[in-house]
Amino acid sequence: MEPEVFVDIVRQALGLVAILVSASILPSLCVGLCVSIFQAATSINEQTLSFLPRLIVTVLALMVGAHWGLEKLMTFFFNMVEMIPQVIG
């Protein structure tokens, strides 16, 4: 049981979390930026104008990318199950 194995597992897990989170956050970030620019240009300070498009885009991104994200999680889980003998022995 080598410490490098655990470091590699944590690195893979954090990388996967970063990829999965960014897949749902980045579209929302882009829409929020566009709405903010529109609000600044038109001097409209309505909170729902900023919140609702971001919510809709985040839900759509999750709907579109859920299959891909679940596939990534399952692959990671199966790799962890295959590494059990390496970690124990």
Q: Write the DSSP assignment of 52-85 as a string of letters.
A: HHHHHHHHHHHHHHHHHHHHHHHHHHHHHHHTHH
Per-domain boundaries in the chain: 16-79
Q: What percent of the chain has pLDDT over 70?
A: 99
Confidence bin at 1 (pLDDT 50/70/90): low
DSSP type of residue 43: T
Q: In the prediction, which pLDDT does 11 show?
A: 94
